[in-house]
Amino acid sequence: MVRLALLAASVLLLLPAIQGARADAMADVQQQFDTGNYWGAMSTLRALISQNPGNAATHFWLGRCYYEVQQYSNAVSELEKATQLDPNSSVYHEWLGRGYGEVAEREHSFLLARRVKKEFQVAVQQDGSNISARRDLEEYLLDAPWIVGGSRSDALVQANTIAQMNPVEGHLAKAEYDDSLGRPDLAVAEYNAALALKPRSIDAYLEIAHHYLRAANAAQLTSVIGQAMQVSPKDVRLLFYQGVAHILGGTNFPQAEQDLKAYLAGSPERSDWPSHSTARFWLGQLYEKEGKKMAAAEQYRAALNQDSGNREAKQALTQLGKSSR
């Protein structure tokens, strides 16, 4: 799933929910999670659970940690416990749906796929203002085959509902709908409409930037990055997109290398951020353009070491090997 919620503020909101847990322990969890030390956070959370196994919030955050380290079956187990202990939490059901989605994709399970939709629907029912859950449900309805509940018409209902709640998010939801239906011009019109509203959240800009990255549109990617810089100039994710924009545009390769290396050095590995494997792939692309085939191959191998499922890195490495013969 995409557009995953930022976590630091959520951890702070979680503190009152953990009855009997030491505030300093949860402060440790926040610090560990935010810096990508998920194993450390899990150790702290397990200690809290041993003291109070009936607390839903600690099971939820343990599940979130498992999700970040891609142990999705363990994530589902903890998130199921969280929803059982607090069945009225929209957020818990939303993340359980995401966990089911990852497992279903890997196991090619129709049964689990149906559970994904059910959990997203419950999340929306529990809190109709949870736009993130509505976007997840929309994405599922667009991507899933009809046999497991996919429905373009139902996806459009979600997009229209979101538009009534939040104009910026509505344009983004409609852009996703149009893009899924193979209508890129309409999607771009929605993105432009969102940008015209001058969103206050950096995440809106980054979602649009990701679209232009996939479209290999360096000019539009650069434009969106410039607008995002006005909102949150210190967001480390901008380094990734700036680096890719230079590579796609064939401009300022030294700056592209500096940006991507700075992103790798200054960002934790998070499921809602560009992965380090992807950043390595783009470094490989940069070195190929510079004629540095050995350096490019090294980056592609590093990308695959971090994520063996990185198809772009695998294909690039194979093609590089063929061209070197």
The rounded Cα 215 to chain-centroid distance in angstroms is 18
* Mean pLDDT score, 140-152: 96
Cβ burial, residue 298 (10 Å; 0-12/13-18/19+): middle
Does pLDDT of 105 surpass 60? yes
Model pLDDT for residues 7-41, shown as the tens digit of each residue: 344 444 444 444 444 577 878 888 899 999 999 99
Q: Which 8-state DSSP code applies to residue 4?
A: P
* Whole-number Å distance between alpha carbons of 13 and 86: 16
49 closest CA partner among 18, 24, 23: 18
The rounded Cα 152 to chain-centroid distance in angstroms is 22
Model pLDDT for residues 152-175, shown as the tens digit of each residue: 999 999 999 999 999 999 999 999
Q: Is residue 191 within 8 Å of 162, Cβ to Cβ? A: no
Tell me how far apart the terminal alpha carbons of the chain are, to the nearest angstrom.
Answer: 39
- Structural domains for the chain: 1-86 (1.25.40.10), 114-196 (1.25.40)
Does pLDDT of 259 surpass 60? yes
Top pLDDT among 70 and 3 is at 70
DSSP 271-298: TTS--HHHHHHHHHHHHHHTT-HHHHHH
* Mean pLDDT score, 37-53: 94
What pLDDT, on the 0 to 100 scale, is given for residue 1?
39
User: 237-249 and 276-289 are packed helices; what angle lies between their axes, rounded to 10 degrees?
Assistant: 30
* Mean pLDDT score, 80-85: 98
What is the pLDDT confidence band of residue 218, given thresholds at 50, 70 and 90?
very high
The rounded Cα 148 to chain-centroid distance in angstroms is 23
What pLDDT, on the 0 to 100 scale, is given for residue 123?
98
